[in-house]
Structure 1
Amino acid sequence: MIKIFTTTFLILSITLFSQNRIKILDSENQKPIAYAKLILKNKDYYKNTEENGETMLEKDEEISEIQSFGFENLHVEKFQQIYLLKPKFSEIETVEISKPKFQKKFTVGSIKKSNMGFAALSKSWVVVDLFKNNIPEEKVYIKKIKIPTQVDKTLKEATFNLVFYENINGKPSSEKRKNIIVTCKSGKNITEVDLTKSPISFPKEGLFIGFEWILNEQNKYSYTTDIHHLDGTKEEKCTTNWNISFFQRLRI
């Protein structure tokens, strides 16, 4: 019994010391920031926090910057277990906003359930496309967005960032105009984002709209398979980690 306990203790100790748990909080109210993005030093991938604002860093992972929409970017110089992000505040003039009346309906873009082309692994992926405004109306708002999604074997319902960028001379603006966290049900579906209560204005120059993957444990699933290489060699029972897989087109 003593030998078994000692062995178990050593294994647990190695696991704990090879990882570092961190938490990202709002500096104003100390609330956790879900899905904050951690840019890692000398890595070709990033990580996101979970819903509770926490994540685990491996022994060889160091954070260089922390990002989250609506907050100032935080450059990290030393390791901490808790990081505080400052909210962004913009001074704007008081304006009267009238709720738009959806009297006419226009559709931009097209989707098919068979159009499933993009997938995310551990790499950093953001995919955007320009949606042009060719509608001869003075004020146009986006009421609904439809996206083909496919989600398999995740721990919970999968999530991703639906991102909006202004069109600056045919290129996306350097900062996001809007970020919406979208939840996808398991299986192959058309996921709808209803913006009726908070419609987004659709400017004459159009918008870049797309997807940013949230890479965390919530969106991850693992499976075991045999890998056959081109040189004829074979790796048996390899475990592969994927994040949510999805879409190729969207419609607004």
Structure 2
Amino acid sequence: MKNILLLFISVMSFAQVKGVVKDSVSGKPIPYVTISLENQAKGTTSDEEGKFSINTQTGNLVFSAVGYHKKKVSITKEMNVFMQPKNHTLQDVVILNKLQTKTIEIGDYKNSIRQAFDNGPKIDAKFFPYLTKYKKTRFIKKITVYTDSQIDSAIVKMRLYSVDENGLPASDLLQKDIIVKPKKGIYRNVIDVSDYNLIFPKKGLFVAFEKLFIDKNKVEKTIIDQNTNTVKIQKIYYPFMLYNRIELSGIFTYYGGAWQKIEEKNNENKMVVKPYFEPAITIFLSN
């Protein structure tokens, strides 16, 4: 029995991959990097010191962070990952005549069913198409999202994406992480982005809130496995995102290292509009 136990511990130790993510130029650690097991719904996040761990043995890990080129690396037991920062050319300063005398909210659904979900190691984005009526309120002023958290210390990352030629999220519209600190309980978070002078893109944009798998977001609970009648430690990461159940042609999800649209088509290869759960996100536009 002793030999069997030692073998089990050895296997479990090998299954946990550890590493650190750093800037390839400065050598500094990169916090809150999105780390996905390629083509699988499994992943984690680097902590404030760029460190991460994930239970897996084979395959590739895909690393994604604001301001850096995405990187795919084969899994080894100890990983030192260096990400290359993107080069951003300085643009001419443009004086924007923002009046902010008129504000409209878009993306709200008054009669939707709103529910909280633990969306796991994936990112769900909400698409906001451009409409001609936004011409007079083209500046993105605020973004709101509903969260549910059982702890006060939880944080979540907000990302805004442009739209690629396939209608999927492309590059980040902001070149820095926007970290949101939700209050405990069910809460509507309002994030002021007016200082970034973002103009609503003509192709539309995506807004996503990304769960961070770090210690300050973690709660551990002791549970009884009903199948094996054994005691297990359940790890829960807050906050949960709230979703609207509405009629859509599909939803946009990032997992396994890539964005994809989850949709259903009929026999004529046309998209079927059906109830989906979409993140409860809205945008305030101003003139």
TM-score range, shorter chain: 0.7 to 0.9
Query: Which residue of 2 is the match for residue 120 of structure 1?
Result: 119
Residue 70 of structure 2 corresponds to which residue in structure 1? 73
Residue 239 of structure 1 corresponds to 233
Match for residue 6 of structure 1? none
> Is the Cα–Cα contact under 8 Å of residues 159 and 209 in structure 2 kept in the other structure?
yes
Q: Is the 8 A contact 2:144 2:189 kept in 1?
A: yes
CA distance in structure 2 between the aligned counterparts of 1:135 and 1:246, rounded to whole angstroms: 29
Instruction: Tell me the TM-score normalized by structure 1.
Output: 0.75
Give yes or no for contact 1:159–1:184 (8 Å, CA) kept in 2.
yes
**Would you tell me which structure has more strand in proportion to its own residues?**
2
Structure 2: 5+ residue runs without aligned partners?
A: 1-5, 244-279
Structure 1 gap ranges (5+): 1-9
Relative to structure 1, is the Cα distance of residues 170 and 63 closer, same or farther in structure 2, using a 3 angstrom cutoff? Answer: closer
Taking a change above 3 Å as real, the CA distance of residues 176 and 118 of structure 1, as seen in their structure-2 partners, is farther
User: Residues 158 and 184 of structure 1 are in contact (CA less than 8 Å); yes or no, is this contact kept in structure 2?
Assistant: yes
Determine the structure 1 residue equivalent to 2:269. none
Query: In the aligned structure 2, how far is the partner of 1:109 from the partner of 1:25?
Result: 37
Deviation at 1:88, TM superposition (A): 0.3
Equivalent pairs counted in the alignment come to 235
Q: Larger deviation: 161-170 or 103-112?
A: 161-170
Q: 1:54, CA displacement in angstroms?
A: 0.9
- Residue of structure 2 equivalent to 1:162: 158
Contact 1:50 1:218 in 2 (8 A): no
CA contact (8 A) 1:116 1:149 kept: no
- Shift of residue 243, structure 1, vs aligned partner: 2.1
Percent identity (aligned): 21
* C-alpha separation in 1, matches of 2:165 and 2:71: 29
Shift, 1:143, TM fit: 0.9
Question: Structure 1 residue 137: deviation in Å?
Answer: 3.1
Q: CA deviation at 1:34?
A: 0.8
Question: If the length of structure 2 is used for normalisation, what is the TM-score?
Answer: 0.67
Are the aligned partners of 2:15 and 2:56 in contact in 1 as well (CA < 8 Å)? yes
CA RMSD in angstroms, aligned pairs only: 3.4
Q: SS at the partner of 1:174?
A: strand
Aligned partners of 1:116 and 1:212: how far apart in 2? 17
For 1:136 and 1:129, locate their aligned partners in 2 and report how far apart those are by CA, in whole Å.
15
Distance change >3 Å, CA 91–CA 210, structure 1 → 2 = same
